Amino acid sequence: MAAKEPAPPKLLSGGNPQIPKGMGDAPVQAYLDALPGWKRDVGVRIDELIVRALPDVRKMVKWNTPFYGMADNGWFLGHHCLTKYVKVAFMKGAALHPEPPVGSKQPDVRYLHVFEGDVIDEAQFTDWVRQAAALPGDQL
């Protein structure tokens, strides 16, 4: 009898995949693989840009969200799906220049919302990633 393939991850509201908590690239790749439609392209591109800018970046999935951080410096960015966009959270975004465009109820956090059909300004995004990685990050 052939081995049964595991069921695909459950999609939560907005299409956010339900992925078990885990450290490293594998859980993040599982999250990206489970993203629906255009959101997968956005998530993969975000991951590629972060890794290109910071080859030593640490990754994990927690709370059904991929997070990125630097060794001994905490976590600086996370992203997840909502119904109409992918929300990229810069944990210390208020300290970035220029600040990412969307404010938060948390004074330090700033967001970038990527909607279907949007083109990410890769130079600006990469600059934010490098700036954010140099700041003390969050201890999740």
In a domain, residue 125? The reply is yes
Q: When comparing pLDDT for 11 and 112, which is higher?
A: 112
Could you tell me if residue 41 is inside a domain?
A: yes
> CATH code at 46?
3.90.1150.200
Number of structural domains the chain divides into: 1
CA dist., res. 6 & res. 60, Å (int): 21
Supply the range of the domain harboring residue 69. 13-134
Would you say residue 31 lies in a domain? yes
* Predicted pLDDT at 2: 59
Residue 57 in contact with residue 77, Cβ under 8 Å?
A: no
For residue range 93-128, what is the model confidence (pLDDT) as tens digits? Answer: 999 999 999 999 999 999 999 999 999 999 999 999
Residue 15 confidence (pLDDT)? 85
pLDDT digits (tens, 9 = 90+) for 77-95: 999 999 999 999 999 999 9
- Long-range pairs, 9-15, Cβ under 8 A, ≥24: 9/34, 11/36, 12/64, 13/83, 14/80, 14/81, 14/82, 14/83, 14/84, 15/39, 15/81, 15/83
Distance between first and last Cα of the chain: 43
Domain assignment present for 128? yes
pTM for the whole structure: 0.91
pLDDT of residue 5: 65
Q: Classify residue 106: in a domain, yes or no.
A: yes
Q: Give the type of residue at 31.
A: Y
